[in-house]
Amino acid sequence: MITQIMKHEWRLLLRDRLLFIAIPVYALLLAYGVYNGDAWRQFLTTNVAAATATADDNIGKLAEKAERIERGEPYGAYEDPRIPGRFARTMAFEMAVKPPGPTSAIAIGQSDVHPSYLLVQWRAMFNQSNTDEVENPVNLAVGRFDLSFVLIYLYPLLIIALSFNMLSSEREGGTQVLMLSQPVSVGQFVVGKVTVRGLVIIGMAVTLSLLGVMASGAELADGGLWRLGAWGLAIIAYGGFWFGLSVLVNAFAGKSSTNAMVLMGTWLVLVLLAPAVLNLVAKSTYPLPSRIELVQAARRGYDAAKREAPPSAQAGGAAAELASRGGEDVMLAELNTAFKDVIPLEMRGEAAAAPMFKRFDEQRDRQHGLIDRLKYVSPAILAADVMGELADTSTASYRAFSHQVGAYHARWRDHFFDRIMAGPVLGAADIRATPRFNFVPEEDGVVAARVVPGLAALLGFVLAVFAAGFGKLRQYPAAAR
């Protein structure tokens, strides 16, 4: 019986004019979303490669310079890369890069506000020059037209447009009584309708976007496969939720226009209002200390450290003079002395400012933790969250990257600290042996642990709306309007 209903529905759908406009537009939007996500992924790939190349190039040039100095070429005090303090503090740098994940074309997520590479040298990461990607703030604020935008915002709207009147229109048209006079229950009738529509809309979303992302060169080997699988499941669940909601609303046997308004209202609340309200709640429950305070804390710390133990600024100057006279050995010793003063001073300054930074991080963790608990109120937030995690463009993914960079920064300091304090100059070989950053993608298990609760909750939402919908359908008044 259900197959007959489905065949009938299929024929009806084929005659629906709305569908002839909506489906191609929908397909086009999905394809455009994939294209955009892929273009961004390619940009990030080239960008991080270029950033790494700058660091390689710089270290290579510094090593060559050291070789030339060792061979006896004349040089200025500021040009000598062999002084460990100067090398580690200003001349050398590493570009710590976060290459895009295997399925990053799914969602641009947070990857446009966070830099894809960070400049690391001795200086505290907080004071490091910013490597934010160049982007018009208007475009950042509006957000990208990527696949996740099409799926989170537009896909539910299309589902609503095609299902808000699945029962009410037949009821209003008077054909429902006729239909229900056949040996078929309202439930079966709805199953047939939802299945046909679901196959078209959800099926298109899943196949088009999976094919698109795969065609764009997602690497299936590196955890790409399970990500794509989980992502397909998320699309099905999120679409299923909106179909289920439509069944539930139709089960109340209201007018088509009432159904449309209720569904639109729910969309508005779940997709636009709930995230904005939660954001406001999180921001006002755990307000972050202002960045201005951090900037000032860092500066105060440094000033205080300087007042307590002023550096022998003369040392650096004397070195410069000696260098200009060619007293090379003396110069090296003198500049090293200067850095022996300056580096610990800076570290004392940082230590003084550290509690403020710690408070900032803790407060941010609390804010993000609160959102992690509150995200379960809206399937739209859950879906966006799951997509961001699967694309490796979530806030958590950037936090993990930032931790890795922090650890690498500490390693940079450890590597050079003894040399700065002990004072031997670096040779070209030492320069070439500068420790480099290696991005380690998060373990699949770690990412999965962030994805599974959200995905499970989405599925829970689907079960809940369908259960409620079919439950309500049992009391569906079969009589005509």
Mask 124-163, x = binds another protein (CB under 8 A)?
Answer: -----xxxxxxxxxxxxxxxxx---x---xx--x---x--
Residues 408-467 that bind another protein (CB under 8 A): none
Count of C-beta atoms within a 10 Å radius of residue 367:
19
* HSE of 234, CA atoms in CB hemisphere, 13 A: 31
In whole angstroms, give the CA distance from residue 27 to residue 23. Answer: 6
The residue among 63 and 381 lying less far from another protein, judged by its C-beta, is 381
Residues 190-229 that bind another protein (CB under 8 A): none
Question: How many chain residues are in contact with another protein, going by CB under 8 A?
Answer: 89
Does residue 68 belong to the site contacting another protein (CB under 8 A)? no
Residues 91-130 that bind another protein (CB under 8 A): 109-110, 113-115, 117, 129-130
Contact 194, 166 (CB under 8 A): yes
Q: Is the dihedral of CA 288, 293, 299, 305 positive or negative?
A: negative
The residue among 85 and 466 lying less far from another protein, judged by its C-beta, is 85
Q: What is the DSSP letter of 184?
A: -
CB of 348 to another protein, least distance (A): 17
Does residue 326 belong to the site contacting another protein (CB under 8 A)? no
In whole angstroms, give the CA distance from residue 37 to residue 216. Answer: 9
In whole angstroms, give the CA distance from residue 235 to residue 459. Answer: 11
Does residue 399 belong to the site contacting another protein (CB under 8 A)? no
Does residue 54 belong to the site contacting another protein (CB under 8 A)? yes
Q: How far is CA 39 from the centre of its chain?
A: 16
In whole angstroms, give the CA distance from residue 350 to residue 420. Answer: 18
The residue among 101 and 388 lying less far from another protein, judged by its C-beta, is 388
Residues 245-284 that bind another protein (CB under 8 A): 256-257, 260-261, 264, 268, 271-273, 275-280, 282-284
Residues 24-53 that bind another protein (CB under 8 A): 36, 43, 47, 50-51
Q: Any idea of the CA torsion for 86, 87, 90, 95, to the nearest 10 degrees?
A: -170
CB of 93 to another protein, least distance (A): 12
Instruction: Identify the CA nearest to 299 among candidates 352, 364, 342.
Output: 352
CB of 317 to another protein, least distance (A): 3
Residues 157-186 that bind another protein (CB under 8 A): 157, 161, 165
